[in-house]
Amino acid sequence: MNQQQAPTLAIILLSKDLERLHAGSLVGSVAAMSGMSVRLFVTMNALEAFLKENVEKRAFQTGTVGAEMLSKNIPLFCDLLREGKENGDLRLYACSMAMDVMGWKREDLIDLFDDVIGVSSFLGMSQGAQVITM
């Protein structure tokens, strides 16, 4: 009997807006916990939100909903991603170009990333996947 390959979802996070980060992370986490294979690529301004110091200080760019989320201690995007990684097939990648431009090292980021890769590597692993950009 042929084993069917799990559907694949590729999510590109490029905004540092808390609402977009949360939405993309929620979709990715739920998809992974539902049996999908999920790959997230964090690039451009979104990487700033994943810096250890910003997560520790809860220093994020927010709109009205994001500010309410922070005031009510709703689990952060990183908590959602951790849950997706623990309970499903979710992999998280940081953009090497953005990291280089900003002078950030992998150690500067929270400890959720599987690797630091370029966009061509991410696109290669995402071939045939449904792609969502946030």
Q: Is residue 46 part of a domain?
A: no
Number of domains in the chain: 1
Q: pLDDT tens across 55-93, in order?
A: 999 999 999 999 999 999 999 999 999 999 999 999 999
Residue 27 has pLDDT above 90, yes or no: yes
Tokens of 27: 């979709």
CATH of the domain at 108: 3.40.1260.10
Q: pLDDT tens across 96-131, in order?
A: 999 999 999 999 999 999 999 999 999 999 999 999
Q: Is residue 9 part of a domain?
A: no
* pLDDT on residue 5: 57
Q: Is residue 120 part of a domain?
A: yes
* pLDDT on residue 2: 43
Q: Is residue 47 part of a domain?
A: no
Q: Is residue 44 part of a domain?
A: no
Q: Is residue 1 part of a domain?
A: no
Structural domain boundaries, residue 116: 16-38+52-91+102-133
Q: Is residue 96 part of a domain?
A: no
**This model's pTM is above 0.85:** yes
Instruction: List the beta bridge partners of residue 9.
Output: 38, 130
Indicate the pLDDT class of residue 1, thresholds 50, 70 and 90: very low
* pLDDT on residue 6: 57
d(CA 85, CA 12) in angstroms, rounded, equals: 16
> Per-residue pLDDT averaged across 31-38, rounded?
96
d(CA 31, CA 40) in angstroms, rounded, equals: 12
Instruction: Tell me the one-letter amino acid at 129.
Output: A
> Per-residue pLDDT averaged across 20-29, rounded?
98
